[in-house]
Amino acid sequence: MVTISCDGCGEEKPEGKTTEWILGYDLQVEAPNAVQRSIRFLDRWDDRRVLELGAIHLCSQECRDKYVAKTRAA
């Protein structure tokens, strides 16, 4: 069994609860002379995609906003 936790605050996702949780991807591509980072959010939770490369899991809109702000500052 896989335990999903929020990448913003660390809260664990209760089994079967998908209403507020946000699934997205934070991908970084490195080339010899540049680094490109892309954050994308899905419009709905998809259990089949939670373990894909670069997947991020956020428990609320507030955690999403904090995650994006933190990423922009980096």
Per residue in 2-14, pLDDT (tens digit) is 899 999 999 999 8
SS3 59: coil
55-58 β-sheet, strand order: 34-41, 22-31, 55-58
**Chain segment 23-51, per-residue pLDDT in tens:** 999 998 888 898 888 999 999 999 899 99
At 74 the pLDDT is 60
Which of 56, 25, 54, 59 is closest to 39 using CA atoms? 25
pLDDT at 18: 65
